[in-house]
């Protein structure tokens, strides 16, 4: 299994991070700076992302969990570790936790996709649904996967330029390669396409490990305002965010040692918008 990874820090506790859909581990550099005294942090790119190998199996959370497990074994992670996942990465973490419970010391879910995500599409929110339909996400990424490097450079120009002056020139080249990869978009499309399979498979494993679990959820009032900027009706934004919060509460109850933390003044990317909350939560797991 040829996966791109980085090990940063020298802390006693190993922290493994699973990124969100389409996200690179370069997004996590700034928060890792504040974690590396207390943690040894493993960042990696899933198959089809960055310099990791082309996927050989369907992009399901089960296969992703197996591949992550192979990576951790190959780099010699023997002690129990903390696993943290953002968004879709959180869905991957939920599956990993049920498959390899004995490997984990604690879990952090950062505004994670829920195994019951379908409930978000059962609300009376037609305008919202037209924007976030999974079929649309699949279709737009398949379209992107057919574009040239130059076309993807133009399409993702604002994403790429956001990294300027934050990372080294060498990493900047890697970021450009990352976001101009047709394979990345093909992989994202497949990850979205398999959400219903993931959901069913995660639910089919009854036991979730009874270990410390922290679910960090976005500020629903901030998120509502963001949706309204995209021309979503206010009543739909409120309905959607209420349901998102209910799903976060449900995730926090997967373990008897679970708890919910609200990241006030943060939208979805909590590790960028409220890194202090993420850092403090992680530190409670090792105190």
Tens digits of residue pLDDT in 228-237: 999 999 999 9
- In this prediction, what percent of the chain has a pLDDT beyond 70? 100
Q: pTM of the predicted model, to two decimals?
A: 0.97
Answer whether 77's CB lies under 8 Å from 56's CB.
no
Quickly state the pLDDT bin for 64 (edges 50, 70, 90). Answer: very high
Our measurement of the distance from residue 85's CA atom to the centroid of its chain's CA atoms, rounded to an integer in Å, reads 5
As given in the structure block, the two tokens for residue 216 are 């960090």
CB 95 within 8 A of CB 202: yes
Taking the C-alpha atoms of residue 95 and residue 109, their distance in angstroms, rounded to an integer, is 12
CA distances from 272 to 109, 157, 158, 269, 277 (A): 15, 20, 17, 6, 10
pLDDT in tens, 226-259: 999 999 999 999 999 999 999 999 999 999 999 9
Question: What per-residue confidence (pLDDT) applies to 164?
Answer: 92
In terms of DSSP H, where are the helices of 3-60? 29-33
Residue-level pLDDT at 157 = 96
Residue 60 has pLDDT above 90, yes or no: yes
Share of the chain above pLDDT 90, in %: 98
> Which of these ranges, 47-56, 126-135, 267-276, has the smallest mean pLDDT?
126-135
- Could you give the C-alpha distances from 195 to 36, 58, 124, 199, 245, in angstroms and in order? 33, 12, 21, 6, 19
pLDDT of residue 238: 98
Number of H helices, E strands in the chain: 14, 7
Q: Specify the residue for token string 């959400």.
A: 195
pLDDT at residue 179 in the model? 98
- Residue 169 CA to residue 185 CA, distance in Å, equals 24
Summary mean pLDDT of the chain:
97
Please say whether the dihedral angle defined by the alpha carbons of residues 217, 258, 198 and 54, taken in this order, is positive or negative.
Answer: positive
Query: Which runs of consecutive H residues, i.e. helices, occur in the chain?
Result: 29-33, 61-74, 88-99, 126-132, 134-145, 149-155, 157-161, 169-179, 182-193, 195-204, 220-229, 234-252, 270-273, 275-284
What is the rounded CA–CA span in Å between residue 211 and residue 59?
Answer: 27
Residue 24: pLDDT above 80? yes
pLDDT tens-digit profile of 119-167? 999 999 999 999 899 999 999 999 999 999 999 999 999 999 999 988 9
Q: How many residues does the chain have?
A: 287
Q: What is the pLDDT of residue 287?
A: 83
User: What is the mean predicted confidence (pLDDT) over 172-180?
Assistant: 97
**Superfamily of 5-119+195-284 according to CATH:** Alpha/Beta hydrolase fold, catalytic domain (3.40.50.1820)
Question: Mean pLDDT across the stretch 161-188?
Answer: 96
pLDDT at 1 over 80: no
pLDDT over 90 at 7, yes or no: yes
Q: Which strands sit side by side in the sheet containing 13-18, from one edge to the other? A: 5-8, 39-44, 13-18, 81-86, 104-110, 213-218, 258-263
Confidence label for 116 from pLDDT (cuts 50, 70 and 90): very high
Residue 238 burial by Cβ neighbours in a 10 Å radius (0-12, 13-18, 19+): middle
Helices (H), 100-233: 126-132, 134-145, 149-155, 157-161, 169-179, 182-193, 195-204, 220-229
**pLDDT for the residue numbered 210:** 98
pLDDT at 254: 98
């Amino acid at each position: 299994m040829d996966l791109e990874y980085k090990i940063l820090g020298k802390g006693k506790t190993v922290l493994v991070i699973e990124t969100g859909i389409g996200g690179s581990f370069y997004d996590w550099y700034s928060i890792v700076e504040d974690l590396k005294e207390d943690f040894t942090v493993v960042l990696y790119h899933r198959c089809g992302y960055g310099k990791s190998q082309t996927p050989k199996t369907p992009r399901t959370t089960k296969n992703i969990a197996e591949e992550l497990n192979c990576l951790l074994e190959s780099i010699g992670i023997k002690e129990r570790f903390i696993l943290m996942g953002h968004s879709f990465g959180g869905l991957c973490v939920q599956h990993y936790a049920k498959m390899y419970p004995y490997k984990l010391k604690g879990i952090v879910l950062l505004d994670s996709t829920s195994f019951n995500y379908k409930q978000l599409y059962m609300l009376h929110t037609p305008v919202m649904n037209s924007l976030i339909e999974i079929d649309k996400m699949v279709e737009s990424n398949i379209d992107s996967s057919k574009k040239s490097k130059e076309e993807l450079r133009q399409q993702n120009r604002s994403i790429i330029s956001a990294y300027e002056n934050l990372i080294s020139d060498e990493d900047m080249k890697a970021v450009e390669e990352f976001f101009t990869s047709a394979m990345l978009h093909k992989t994202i499309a497949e990850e979205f396409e398999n959400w219903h399979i993931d959901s069913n498979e995660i639910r089919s494993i009854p036991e979730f490990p009874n270990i410390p679990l922290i679910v960090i959820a976005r500020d629903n009032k901030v998120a509502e305002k963001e949706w309204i900027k995209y021309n979503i009706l206010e009543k739909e934004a409120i309905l959607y965010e209420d349901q998102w919060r209910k799903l976060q509460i449900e995730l926090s109850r997967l373990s008897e040692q679970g708890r919910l933390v609200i990241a006030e003044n943060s939208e979805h990317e909590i590790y960028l918008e409220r890194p202090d909350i993420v850092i403090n939560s992680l530190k409670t797991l090792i105190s």
